[in-house]
Amino acid sequence: MLSFFKGYKIFAIVFIIISIVIISIIYNTLNVYQPLPIYQPTMVSTELVDSTIQYQKKYHKIADFSLTNQNGKTITQNDYKDKIYVVDFFFTTCQTICPIMTSNMVDIQKEIINDDDVMLLSHSVTPEIDSVAQLKRYALKKGVNDKKWNLVTGDKKEIYKLARKSYLAVKDNGDGGPFDMVHTENFMLIDKKRQIRGYYDGTNSEDINRLLNDIAILKEEY
């Protein structure tokens, strides 16, 4: 009799283990949808956020803007209306992380080239150097598709405010001149409501894959 219950106990343990494995497989196969977070200033490192909004816990959105792209066209929020878009900050003469970031943005461009819902946006942090002509040369060299990706320059104060108060993406250069900033490797994913839905290391291939996956997740909301 005792041996019978021992055998039953072993069977029960094996059954439970198999059941857990099967449930895990089914869960992963179904790929249960989980929405992406909506980032607020309080959720981001304070070194990337302007001091005036560091304690804001809700309602954060990207502000209106008016900048000039590589073709001399004025780019505003209307060009990104009802779009999901990926954002970064760079400068054309950067020899450190920018070439890697741009190369990875080119890879993203290839993946979303036929997706009308998704666009790209890169801001120069040295607009005094990155003229329209300079941006155009850079765009041609790197393979930027004008229909999908805007490289923008403009008023340095406006770009600074966007970087620190909207995208929460760059460090303040306290030793530099007014509105000088230290750009980071961050890529930001912005939804159709102008909300930040993700931060990614633009120099890391695994993060780029995560970004592409998150774009697919975000599209499930619409």
- Parse the chain into domains and list their residue ranges: 1-32, 41-219
Least confident of 29-43, 65-79, 89-103, 205-219: 29-43
> What pLDDT score does 30 carry?
53
Q: Between 6 and 203, where is the model more confident?
A: 203
> What pLDDT score does 83 carry?
98
Mean pLDDT of the 125-144 span: 97
Instruction: For the chain, give the percent of residues with pLDDT over 70.
Output: 83
pTM to 2 decimal places: 0.84
**CB of 150 closer than 8 Å to CB of 121:** yes
Q: Please write the tens of the pLDDT for every residue from 163-221.
A: 999 999 999 876 666 688 888 999 999 999 999 999 999 999 999 999 999 999 999 99
Asked whether residue 2 carries a pLDDT value surpassing 50, the answer given is: no
Pick the closest to residue 80 from 132, 117, 38 (CA basis). 117
Q: Please write the tens of the pLDDT for every residue from 141-162.
A: 999 999 999 999 999 999 999 9
Asked whether residue 49 carries a pLDDT value surpassing 50, the answer given is: yes
Q: Which amino acid is at 112?
A: I
Token couple for 104: 């990875």
What does pLDDT average to over the chain? 90
Cα–Cα distance for residue pair 201/52, rounded to 1 Å:
26
Residue 149 main-chain phi, psi, to 5 deg = -140, 120
- Under CATH, which number does the domain 41-219 receive? 3.40.30.10
